[in-house]
C-alpha cells in the first residue's frame, strides 16, 4: 500500500522519507512565474520576498496529470491519497480526477484540514501501513486522527487575508491601525474567528491557553510563518504539558514546522499556530 499527499501537509522531510510518502507539490504564482511548492522555491526565499511584492502571490492546485504521474509511481499497489480541505483548495478535486482511471485502487480523502492538521492524518495512515494494517484499518486510523485534530493560528496581520478576498480593506486597515491580532481555528475546511487581541503577547498567551484546554495530547506541532524564534519559544512552553505518560511517542517534544509558501500566501509572515491531536 502506498501513500500520497500534497505539499500543504507540511510534513518534515525526514518523515516523508521514512514512510515513502509521495508528495505532490501545489503551485505558487509569484512575480510572473509559477513555482512547484517546496521544489522550485525555498520557504526562506518566499518569506523574504513576500512583504515587498507589489502583486500579491496566488496559489493553484497541481494539474490532474501531476496526480496521474504520482499514482503511476505506485505500480499495482493500493493507494491512499490524503489532501488539503476541498473547501480551501482545488487540490482534492485534482487528486480525485487523477485517480478516476484507476478505479477503486485509489482512495482519495478530503482531510478537512491543512498544514499539520493534514500532516497528522497522513502520518496516522503511514504508521498503520507500516504496521501492516489492511485498508479499512488504515482509513479508520485517518478518520480517528481527523476527529481529534485541532488547529489554531495567530495572524500577525489580516492584510494577507484581505489580499486573498477573505477580509475587507476597511477591516484590514482598522486591524493594522489598532495592532489587532486575529486568532482563527480551522475545522472541517471552515476557517472561523476565535477572538481578536490587542497585542501579540496576549495573543500568544491565548494560544497557550487554547492548547492547554485540549487536555492530554497524542501529538503536537507548533507552526510558524518565518518566525522560528517565537515558534521554538512556544514549543518549549508546551513541551511538558498534556502528553500521555504511557505512550512512548508522547514523550517526544512538539514538532516545529515552518508553514509552506502556499499557506504563507494566505496567513502572511509571523503567523504562529498549533496543530494538536487530542488523546483518544
CA gap 250, 3 in Å, rounded? 24
Report the pLDDT value the prediction gives residue 21, as an integer from 0 to 100.
Answer: 98
Place of cell 510563518: 225
Domain boundaries, the chain: 2-147, 149-278
Q: Which of these CATH numbers, 3.30.70.2170, 3.40.50.10170, 3.30.70.3170, 3.90.470.10, describes 2-147?
A: 3.40.50.10170
Q: Spell out the alpha helix ranges (H) of 62-114.
A: 64-72, 91-99
Same CATH fold assignment for domains 2-147 and 149-278? no
The distance of Cα 215 from the centroid of its chain, to the nearest Å, equals 22
Please report, in tens digits, the pLDDT of each residue of the chain (280 residues total).
999 999 999 999 999 999 999 999 999 999 889 999 989 998 989 999 988 888 889 999 999 999 999 999 999 999 999 999 999 999 999 999 999 999 899 999 999 999 999 999 999 999 999 999 999 999 999 999 999 999 999 998 877 766 655 443 334 333 443 356 889 999 998 888 888 888 899 999 999 999 999 988 999 999 999 999 999 999 999 987 655 444 444 456 799 999 999 999 989 899 999 999 998 7
CATH class of the 149-278 domain in this structure: alpha beta
In this predicted structure, what is the pLDDT of residue 242?
53
Amino acid at each position: 500500500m502506498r501513500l500520497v499527499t500534497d505539499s500543504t501537509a507540511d510534513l518534515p522531510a525526514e518523515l516523508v522519507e521514512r514512510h515513502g510518502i509521495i508528495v505532490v507539490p501545489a503551485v505558487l504564482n509569484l512575480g510572473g512565474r509559477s513555482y512547484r511548492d517546496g521544489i522550485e522555491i525555498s520557504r526562506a526565499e518566499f518569506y523574504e520576498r513576500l512583504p515587498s511584492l507589489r502583486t500579491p502571490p496566488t496559489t493553484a492546485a497541481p494539474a490532474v496529470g501531476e496526480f496521474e504521474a504520482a499514482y503511476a509511481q505506485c505500480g499495482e499497489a493500493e493507494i491512499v491519497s490524503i489532501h488539503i480541505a476541498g473547501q480551501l483548495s482545488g487540490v482534492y478535486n485534482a487528486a480525485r480526477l487523477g485517480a478516476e482511471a484507476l478505479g477503486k485502487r485509489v482512495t482519495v480523502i478530503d482531510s478537512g484540514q491543512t498544514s499539520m492538521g493534514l500532516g497528522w492524518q497522513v502520518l496516522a495512515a503511514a504508521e498503520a501501513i507500516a504496521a501492516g494494517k489492511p485498508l479499512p484499518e488504515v482509513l479508520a486510523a485517518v478518520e480517528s486522527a481527523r476527529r481529534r485534530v485541532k488547529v489554531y493560528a495567530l495572524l500577525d496581520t489580516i492584510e494577507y487575508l484581505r489580499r486573498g478576498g477573505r477580509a475587507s480593506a476597511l477591516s484590514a486597515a482598522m486591524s493594522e491601525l489598532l495592532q489587532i491580532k486575529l486568532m482563527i481555528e480551522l475545522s472541517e475546511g471552515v476557517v472561523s474567528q476565535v477572538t481578536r487581541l490587542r497585542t501579540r503577547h496576549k495573543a500568544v498567551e491565548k494560544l497557550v491557553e487554547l492548547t492547554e484546554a485540549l487536555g492530554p495530547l497524542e501529538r503536537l506541532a507548533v507552526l510558524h510563518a518565518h518566525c522560528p524564534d517565537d515558534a521554538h519559544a512556544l514549543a518549549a512552553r508546551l513541551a511538558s504539558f498534556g502528553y500521555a505518560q504511557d505512550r512512548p511517542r508522547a514523550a517526544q517534544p512538539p514538532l516545529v514546522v515552518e508553514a509552506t509558501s502556499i499557506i504563507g500566501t494566505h496567513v502572511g509572515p509571523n503567523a504562529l499556530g498549533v496543530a494538536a491531536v487530542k488523546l483518544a
